A and B are shown apart, each in its own frame.
Chain A
Amino acid sequence: MSSASSGFKLGEWIFTTDHKRIGVLYLIGSIAAFAVAGLMALLIRIEQSSPGPTIVSDAYTGGDQYNVWLYFHGAAMILGFLIPGLTGFAANYLLPLMIGAKDVAFPRINALSVWLFWAGIVVALLTFIVPDKPDVMWTGYPPYSITTAGNTALYVFTVHLMGFSSILAAVNFLVTIIYMRAPGMGWNQLNMFVWSCLTALIIQLIFVPVLAAAVTLLLFDRYLGTHFFDPANGGDVLLYQNLFWFYSHPAVYVIFLPAMGIFYEIFATMAKNPIFNYKAAVYGGMCFIVLISGEVWIHHLYYSGMPDWLRIGQMITTLMISVPVGLMTISLFGTLYKGAITFNVPMYYGTAALYLLLIGGLTGIPLAMTVMAVHLGETSFVHAHFHFIMGIFSTFAVFAAVDFWFPKIAGKMLNEKQGKLGFWFNFIGVNITFWPLFIIGVEGMPRRYWDYSQFPVHFGSYHKIATIGAFIVAIGMVLTISNWLISAIKGEKAPSNPWGSNSLEWTHTATPPGPGNFPTPVTVDANWTPYNYK
């Protein structure tokens, strides 16, 4: 089997059209965004560790500084890390290998896509250079985003670049999956990760243009004097929220589905079991999510005023989401059943993900219910909820993916001890960070407040604990990411299939895979599946 050429040449990386290198470029960019957004999270937590100004300069401008941190943290984590980390890095590197393809359908468009993403990262980082820093959260709600002195254009251009990049990526991978599967590979023989990407990318391709359109109109309102979202002049301010969440709620599934796909691969391989209820998980789980993903966004607007029948209808459809998610969760648990489970670092993250799914899922139920959401929706309870179910769950999926496929990507084994140590810091840290926020959220601690001195004094103690948790997570992140870097240079040479997987990327390619991926064209027969362990 051919392997990747050794030696680093910058030009080869800049002009590459190889999906594996593009995947690595996505990983580097998304980890960079993650690191800066993580620093913002630490600043947020330090600021909240005591009521009143803690590290902001004074009480008058403190809110503005804090809003900039919130903006960058939210925008970079979602648009710069989670989506590109999963559908950029993981899909790019793994998808063609899993379906037996030599490359993606449109390699040059793929290269354009990654550099648009990098341009988006650079534009986002300009936040720290421009004097009028954007401060519009990741949502950019008008009227604030139209009237603020902050630079709304920077937010809009970041969304445009990242959005355009993700549209191109979605086009590419959907065509690749549909037309470039190895001869003989049927739909029911696809890896779960491939299915998860297929469904996530359909959502992405359909809904991203709506977000792009919404922020473009916002740009016109802000800089060209139009009134699309100005109610005093015939606009509709709530319409922006509708358009924004029409994309951004499905975006949760763009993140969630590939994360689930990654855990499926890890569970099946580490437990040496076939996927439990494959068809139910694919068609009843993933495909059903695609069908209803575009119909539940209004639960983000429960507090914005709407007819009761619409609110109740949205509550029902939102609760219905738990059916496909439940099917997939049962399938994940079932895949472990009676398995000979190897507990290594990826499996640690996988097991933790089941716990996160449970807590995040259960705390989502009261938020879906209108009567509870009115009380909890704008508190730190929802903040903790979406960090469990979306932020941390998906971050753990990216970490698990890097750890699981690291031998394939780098040709080296990770340091298992450091990986486990990093995991425990991460896992313990996130629990210490977010459980206190659940508690004070129920008691009425609002989201996004930098100064909460008007609230009960004991909120300060909970915030202090959460801040300690954030620093523990920071140590875990440093341990995890440094482990990748050190192991890539000094790690032990990896065997070709260290986990004994049946998936094509392990069984039919070199480690690391060379140009063209497969030394000979791959064909599979009707009995082949990537999970044929028994």
Chain B
Amino acid sequence: MRKIAWLMAMTLWVVLLGDGWAISKPTDNSDIDPTLFRVDEQKFLGVKFGNEVTLLDEQGKPFQFADLPNRPFVLVPAYYTCDGACFNIGISLKELLKDVKSLEAGKGFNVVFVSFDKNDTTEGLTKFVQQLDLPDDPIRGWRFTRFEQPDVIKREMDKIGYKFFWSPADRTFFHPTLILILSPEGRVARYLNVLNVTPKDVELALLEAKSSQFKPSESLDYLVSLCYSYNFKEGRYTLSIPVFVGLGSFLLGIGLLFASLGIYRLIHHRKNIRK
């Protein structure tokens, strides 16, 4: 009897061990169809983020998202114990922003990381920031935050169309490599895939988000931004050919005026010579 009980206990142990191993081991089936994370951009553009939401800053102090400086934002949904994608997003963004010439982080816009992991801690956040190796500048314009109340995370992320989920099998969050460009009022102006865009795309998206705040000295930047339009299919900005066609035809009209005056003078000059 004792042998039978021992045998059953061993069998149960083996089964549990096997289950545990099976659960913890990444399998081929863990590959996620990336289209699952696609955001229906046109549905969410203009949605306001962070309305009456309390965030915790790098030191764990609470603050309202609405209290952040009245500038455009690069909003980066991430989590700080992420072992791959979030760090890559941060590094890629840092590299991209180095080449954004017309606007400077901390002056023209802010970068706000916001964690969608309720288990993130100040320690994990600090470690993440250290790994990013950002310049040690008080106005560097990068903020790393967490939600104060975990129960609003899903609601706020759903509101902006950002999809993510925890995979127990992989012990990780699956999430897209998206960054959001928000207007100074916190409204979603553009979604960009940070691994698929150029500094020019980020710059144009920020200029677009900033369009309500232009200073006269930035007119040239604004005019240049009008020469591009966002391509939803490619997820990046492309030159807007109709702008150049329109400009060319406008110049054609002016040219026609002077050309016709010149032609008339030429014809009469020839007539006078014949006489």
A residues adjacent to B (C-beta < 8 A): 105-106, 167, 171-172, 174-175, 178-179, 202, 205-210, 212-214, 217, 228-229, 231-236, 239-240, 242-243, 246, 306-310
Give B233's nearest chain A residue, CB to CB: A233
CB proximity of B220 to chain A, nearest CB, Å: 16
Tell me which residues across on chain B come within 8 A of A239, comparing CB atoms. 229, 240, 242-243, 246
B242 touches A234 (CB 8 A): no
- Inter-chain contact B257/A171, CB cutoff 8 Å: yes
Assess whether B230 is in contact with A234, with CB atoms less than 8 Å apart.
Answer: yes
26 residue pairs bridging A and B, Cβ less than 8 Å apart: A171-B257, A172-B260, A174-B260, A174-B261, A175-B261, A205-B256, A206-B254, A208-B253, A210-B249, A210-B250, A210-B253, A213-B248, A213-B249, A217-B245, A228-B242, A231-B229, A232-B233, A233-B233, A234-B230, A235-B242, A236-B229, A239-B246, A242-B246, A243-B246, A246-B246, A307-B214
Which secondary structure dominates where chain B touches chain A?
Answer: helix
Q: How far is the CA of A223 from the CA of B45 in the complex (A)?
A: 30
Which chain B residues lie closer than 8 Å to A207 at the CB level? 250, 253
How distant is B59 from chain A, measured CB to nearest CB, in Å? 36
Q: A234-B232, A236-B229 are in contact. Are A214 and B253 (CB under 8 A)?
A: no
- Complex formed: what's the CA distance from A110 to B4 in Å? 112
Q: How far is the CB of B101 from chain A (nearest CB, A)?
A: 21
> What is the predominant secondary structure among interface residues of chain A facing chain B?
helix
Beta-carbon contacts under 8 Å, B217-242 to A: 229-234, 238, 240-242
Interface residue count for B (Cβ, 8 Å)? 29
> Given A175-B260, A217-B245, does the pair A236, B240 have CB atoms closer than 8 Å?
yes
Instruction: Tell me whether B261 and A213 are in contact (CB under 8 A).
Output: no
- 3 interchain residue pairs of minimum CB distance: A234-B231, A209-B249, A213-B249
Contact between A210 and B214, CB atoms less than 8 A apart: no
B264 on interface, CB distance cutoff 8 Å: yes
**Which chain B residue shows the least CB distance to A179?**
B264
Instruction: Give the Cβ gap from A232 to chain B, nearest Cβ, in Å.
Output: 5
B-chain residues with CB within 8 Å of residue A209 when the two chains form the complex: 249-250, 252-253, 256
B261 — which chain A residues lie within 8 A by C-beta?
Answer: 174-175, 178-179
Is there a chain A Cβ closer than 8 Å to B212's Cβ?
yes
A233→B240 CA distance, assembly (Å): 11
Chain A residues near B250: list those with CB within 8 A: 206-207, 209-210, 246
Q: Whole-angstrom distance between the alpha carbons of A246 and B243 in the complex?
A: 12
Q: In the complex, which residue of chain A has the Cβ closest to the Cβ of B260?
A: A171
Report which of B212, B229, B240 forms a contact with A307, defined as CB distance below 8 A.
Answer: B212
B229 touches A105 (CB 8 A): no
Chain B residues within 8 Å of A231, by CB: 229-230, 232
CA distance A202 to B243 in the complex (A): 22
> In the complex the two chains form, is A205's CB within 8 Å of B257's CB?
yes
| CB atoms of A232 and B232 under 8 A apart | yes
Report if B172 contacts A (CB, 8 A): no
Docked pose: A210 CA to B250 CA in angstroms: 6
- Closest chain-A Cβ to B55's Cβ sits at a distance in Å of 28
